[in-house]
Amino acid sequence: MRKLPALVAVAALAFVPAGALAAKPKPKHKKPSPRAKVYKATLKAFGPDAAYTTKKFGKAQLVDGKKNNKVSVHVRGLTPGGTYLWHVHQAKKAGDPCDPTLSGVGNPAPYPGWDWSKVDPFRANAAGNYNKTFKTKTFPVTTPDVDSGFVYYVNVHLADGTVIACGVFKGSRKATPKFKKQQAAKKKKKKKKGKGPKAHH
């Protein structure tokens, strides 16, 4: 007889409208964070021999995130066990910094967004390959005299600094502080223009 109330309660629930049971509000989903921008590059031969080969030395990827930034390189075709260097650079002006015939476009100084002493020099493995992902929280550098506002690119060098492979991160001008600042200013101007003057009654 003591189990009767419980059975009555179950029976009562059977007659409760479905809407009443679902009256509890659904939890709000958090807005997804803006996706990181990804820029890709193909590493091609650079220097005197570049005109005689279509050989590709691998690929690279630059990720411009809101907090975490990284660059990844996958280099092949190196001398097994050989010693090399690699860096990200930023072009000084418009043009292809990986075109040796264009003077003054490339910048020999490594981009200061990373501490390159942590990855250089490196040794190619037994197959002549090298793979590395290098993270940083200081990309892009916002100092006005450091940021040129032009594309980023990656170079692979011999131990003496001679560049043997180069690849431009396509579209990476969008990751520069100057470009972002210009876009923010345009957006602000457009928003202000959209409001227009207030109507007088």
Q: What is the pLDDT of residues 94-121, one digit of tens each?
A: 999 999 889 999 999 999 999 999 999 9
Per-domain residue ranges for the chain?
37-182
Whether 33 contacts 67, CB under 8 Å: no
Whether 46 contacts 100, CB under 8 Å: yes
Whether 91 contacts 97, CB under 8 Å: yes
Whether 173 contacts 39, CB under 8 Å: no
CATH 3.30.930.10 fits 37-182, yes or no: no
Check: pTM over 0.85? Answer yes or no.
Answer: no
Average pLDDT of the chain? 82
* pLDDT tens by residue, 65-83: 987 899 999 999 999 999 9
Decide if pLDDT at 13 tops 90.
no
Exposure b/e, 153-167, CB count within 10 A at least 16 = b: bbbbbbeeeebbbbb
